[in-house]
């Protein structure tokens, strides 16, 4: 095992200054609520100054192994040289023009070559934009209003159709919220019931292909067939699974062909390149070749064709195709799962810190003496890991720059943190936690 930096990180002076000022400038203090101050212990970096490989540094100069690189958007590593070189080369040629850049055709052909059954692609800068565009296409294609989504999945878009169906629906008319209907993920009967409840009204089902559990045999295929039988489209959101479960993702892993698939995190190593791919008969609705037909205003963004992000996507594909990135990442994810399970068991904490999910996105859940999900214990454990140089927010999402030594260091820090966690469990987390517990992102009240 490597030697851990024995100096506990306790200097957050510049972070505290950042925290104090940023909320006066930026509502929420960040550009996704998942990066917000209420998602981290107070003894933590408020911001990052730079990163390299698997490491990041905060404004006080503290160094961390980052476990969820760019909220799972980093698939190769920070400042990963082949990507940086490709992007730099492109930047020197200009970044945005008054007509499409020729690189758009190159990335379209490259990306689609990896996605069997899909003929067309549309780019955007954010995941929410493409999931919303996919929903719009499905409504236009079917002439129906309702969108079905799993009640137990956390996030598909900040747009009204999705966020209006969560607890955080302020600003969204209830008429809009009523257009999204809910079923239980991975439960085919629940989906059958929904189609029976709303015959001929559901335009599409949108779902991540893998979320919490190993899928029942044939689930995805059966679910897609069911949607088609009822005249609805299937939108597979591979924002997280893309470039993680397989290359390019779960649709090839399970050999299924959704009508539309949405991609984002990971496909450009943190650069802002997201896209949706799909069948021509559906995506062509957003085209301008059907002279005389009603126009569908699909995605229209000034920055959608930004060349540097597209170059990053191409360089990322190059690296995934040259190296066994998926194999490397999943091996390290499995090492984290096996190692953390052993560490947790050694401390007698198996009922209180539980491994969830998969070797491509391995998360931990925290439970108190009553078996209830505990945000206090969660925050305490993260506080202790951060103090030991591990920037952990509940998920280890391995990328190509994470090393075996990184995982060993994480596991050693977990071992030490379990001792404090156990005291918090037995004596109350408040005794050991500095500041407030973190709070759920999707909560009704601040
Ligand atoms: C499954 C899923 N879909 C869509 C999104 C939205 O992506 P973005 O934050 O790029 O808008 C996210 C973001 O976390 C996501 O996890």
Token readout for 151 is 């009640």
What is the spatial distance between Cα 62 and Cα 10, in angstroms, rounded to a whole number?
Answer: 9
3-state secondary structure of 148: strand
What pLDDT is recorded for position 4? Answer: 46
Q: Cα separations (Å) of 117 from 245, 252, 261?
A: 19, 10, 11
From the CA of 128, how far away is ligand 1's center (Å)? 6
- Contacts of residue 24, defined as CB under 8 A and 6 or more positions apart, other chains included, come to none
pLDDT reported for residue 17 = 98
pTM for this predicted structure? 0.96
pLDDT of residue 357: 82
DSSP string across 23-68: HHHSGGGSSSGGGSGGGS-SSS-SS--EEEBTEEE-TT--EEEESS
pLDDT at 214: 85
Q: Which amino acid residue places its CA nearest to atom 12 of ligand 1?
A: 156
Q: Which atom of ligand 1 is nearest to the CA of 126?
A: 10
Cα dist from 386 to 96, 364, 373, 378, 413, whole Å: 40, 15, 21, 12, 9
Choose the residue to mutate in 134, 147, 264, 360 for probing ligand 1, maximizing ligand atoms within 8 Å of C-beta. 264
Residue with CA closest to ligand 1 atom 7: 127
CA 126/CA 129 separation, integer angstroms = 5
Q: Ligand 1 mean position to 31 CA, how many Å? A: 12
Alpha-carbon Rg for the chain in angstroms = 22
Q: For the chain, what are the domain ranges?
A: 13-78+324-431, 96-305
Q: Which CATH number fits domain 96-305: 3.40.640.10, 3.40.50.300, 3.40.30.10, 3.30.210.10?
A: 3.40.640.10
Place of tokens 């920055």: 303
| Fold for the domain defined by 13-78+324-431 | 3.90.1150
- For every one of its 446 residues, what pLDDT tens digit does the chain have, with 9 covering 90 and above? 344 445 799 999 999 999 999 999 999 999 999 999 999 999 999 999 999 999 999 999 999 999 999 999 999 999 999 999 999 999 999 999 999 999 999 999 999 999 999 999 999 999 999 999 999 999 999 999 999 999 999 999 999 999 999 999 999 999 999 999 999 999 999 999 999 999 999 999 999 999 988 888 899 999 999 999 999 999 999 999 999 999 999 999 999 999 999 999 999 999 999 999 999 999 999 999 999 999 999 999 999 999 999 999 999 999 999 999 999 999 999 999 999 999 999 999 999 999 988 999 999 999 999 999 999 999 999 999 999 999 999 999 999 999 999 999 999 999 999 999 999 999 999 999 999 999 999 999 99
User: What pLDDT, on the 0 to 100 scale, is given for residue 6?
Assistant: 56
Task: Indicate whether residue 210 lines ligand 1 (CB < 6 A).
Answer: no
């Amino acid at each position: 095992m490597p030697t851990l930096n024995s100096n506990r990180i306790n200097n957050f002076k510049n972070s505290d200054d950042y925290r104090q000022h940023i909320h006066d400038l930026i509502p929420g203090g960040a550009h996704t609520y998942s990066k917000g101050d209420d998602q981290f212990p107070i003894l933590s970096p408020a911001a990052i100054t730079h990163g390299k490989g698997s490491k990041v540094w905060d404004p006080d100069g503290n160094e961390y192994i980052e476990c969820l690189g760019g909220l799972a958007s980093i698939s190769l590593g920070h400042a990963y040289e082949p990507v940086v070189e490709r992007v730099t080369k492109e930047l020197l040629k200009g970044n945005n023009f008054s007509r499409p850049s020729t690189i758009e055709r190159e990335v379209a052909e490259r990306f689609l070559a990896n996605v069997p059954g899909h003929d067309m692609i549309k780019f955007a800068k954010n995941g929410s934009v493409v999931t919303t565009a996919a929903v719009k296409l499905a409504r236009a294609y079917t002439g129906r209003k309702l969108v079905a989504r799993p009640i137990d999945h956390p996030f598909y878009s900040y747009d009204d159709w999705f966020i209006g169906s969560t607890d955080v629906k302020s600003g969204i008319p209830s008429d809009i919220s009523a257009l999204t209907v809910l079923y239980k993920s991975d439960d085919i009967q629940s989906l059958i019931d929904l189609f029976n409840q709303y015959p001929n009204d559901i335009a599409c089902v949108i779902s991540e292909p893998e979320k919490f559990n190993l899928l029942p045999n044939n689930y995805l295929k059966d679910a897609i067939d069911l949607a088609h039988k009822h005249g609805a489209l299937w939108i597979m959101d591979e924002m997280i699974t893309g470039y993680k479960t397989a290359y390019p993702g779960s649709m090839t892993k399970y050999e299924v062909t959704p009508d539309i698939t949405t991609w984002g995190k990971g496909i450009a190593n943190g650069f802002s390149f997201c896209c949706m791919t799909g069948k021509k008969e559906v995506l062509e609705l957003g085209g301008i070749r059907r002279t005389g037909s009603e126009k569908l205003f699909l995605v229209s963004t000034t920055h959608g064709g930004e060349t540097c992000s597209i170059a990053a996507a191409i360089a990322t594909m190059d690296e995934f195709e040259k190296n066994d990135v998926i194999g490397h990442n999943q091996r390290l994810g499995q090492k984290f799962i096996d190692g953390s399970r052993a560490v947790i068991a050694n401390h007698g904490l198996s009922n209180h810190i539980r491994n969830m999910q998969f070797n491509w996105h391995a998360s931990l859940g925290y439970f108190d003496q009553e078996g209830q999900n505990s945000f206090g214990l969660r925050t305490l454990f993260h506080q202790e890991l951060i103090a030991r140089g591990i920037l952990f927010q509940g998920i280890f999402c391995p990328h190509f720059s994470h090393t075996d030594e990184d995982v060993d260091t994480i596991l050693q820090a977990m071992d030490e943190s379990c001792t404090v966690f156990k005291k918090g469990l037995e004596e109350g987390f408040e005794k050991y936690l500095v500041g407030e517990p973190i709070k759920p992102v999707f909560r009704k009240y601040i």
